[in-house]
Amino acid sequence: MSNILVFGHKSPDTDAVTSAISFAYLQNQLGKDVEPVALGEISEETQYALDFFNTKAPRIVTEADSNVEAVMLVDHNEPQQSLDNIDEFEILSVVDHHRIANFETAGPLYYRAEPVGCTNTIIFKIYKEYGIDVPKDIAGLMLSAIISDTLLFKSPTCTAEDERAAQELAEIAEVDLHAYGMKMLKAGTNVNSKSAQDILNGDAKSFEMGDKTVRIGQVNVVDVQELLQRKDELIELAEKNNVAEGYDLTLLLITNILESDTVGLVVGSGIETVEAAFNETVNDHQIKLPGVVSRKKQVVPPLTDAFEG
């Protein structure tokens, strides 16, 4: 067990898990004793990538013990998305591609935030800056994260930097980028075997927007209607979670990765604000979000503006 932990956000997606692995390897090469961990269960998509590149999943933690001296954050910065006892530890560094909110430290730190589609795109640049070679397995995991976060370059968050990094990493990993990418994305769309709780929380983040706590989850599918057959079950559970966890509003984004469209399930107070944010009507807890695939770029900013404006 290392005295420095590196981790992504709670309800970790592929970028959160693999950026912890890739950044830990980098830091270890630089002489630090760093261990990657995950703040939640590994998704099927992420597990597919880990298995494909013969990598053991990081151990799962919710709190760090007294043996830990400091932490490093990747793919997030907001404390409500982080380790439960994050305020007990010195934060040595942050590498992220999200908004900066509710974040402060007592001392200076390394902070790297860039407006790209994936945290691993930034980490790949840091490898190059230090002149450290990326091993084949790590390259495959970093590639997997870029594919996941950009939906194989279909997301509006995708930049030319992400595409260039993905091409280089695919060569190092010795895989066909698009063939591997589609298999990995489809591995994460099997929702039939998942519980309603897993669907709501599998890739969910909490955001402070004005005086509201908004929970936004996202699930990728190839058939939206198949998941909407469980709509009543999901709404009932979301209502219970709102009360139990103190969420004012839960928004579950059901994203069709083939058609690049989303249907949202809206549960809680502030439905009128959601309608205003997207200029769409909520009918029976359901809202159409055509062309929306990115929570970070297409959902969080308009919702934040609506709730804070």
Do residues 136 and 222 both lie within one domain?
Answer: no
CA distance 211 to 232: 28
The per-residue pLDDT for 268 is 97
Is 285 annotated to bind ligand? no
Residue 8: what pLDDT? 98
Enumerate residues 6+ apart whose C-beta is below 8 A from 179.
Answer: none
C-alpha to C-alpha distance for 288 and 291, rounded to whole angstroms: 10
Interior/surface letters 264-284, b for 16+ CB within 10 angstroms, e for the rest: bbbbbebbebbebbbeeebee
Beta pairing class for 70-74 and 90-96? parallel
Task: Quote the domain boundaries for residue 17.
Answer: 2-187
Domain boundary among 153, 171, 187: 187
Q: Are residues 153 and 10 in the same domain?
A: yes
Do both 164 and 262 map to the same domain?
A: no
Is 84 among the annotated ligand-binding positions? no
Is 97 annotated to bind ligand?
Answer: yes
* Residue 288, C-beta contacts closer than 8 angstroms, at least 6 positions apart: 261, 263, 264, 280
Residues 123 and 205 in one domain: no
Non-local CB neighbours of 133 within 8 Å, separated by 6+ positions: 127
Spatial separation of the C-alpha atoms in residues 241 and 252, rounded to whole Å: 13
Residues 48 and 130 in one domain: yes
Q: CATH number, domain at 154?
A: 3.90.1640.10
Shared domain check, 285 and 141: no
Model pLDDT, residue 28: 97
The answer on whether 51 is annotated among ligand-binding residues is no
Successive 10-residue mean pLDDT values, the chain, 309 residues: 91 97 98 96 96 98 89 96 94 97 93 98 98 98 97 95 98 98 92 90 92 95 93 97 97 93 96 96 97 94 94
Residues 64 and 144 in one domain: yes
178 labeled binding residue: no
| Residue 133 known to bind ligand | no
CA pair distance 224, 157, nearest whole angstrom: 22
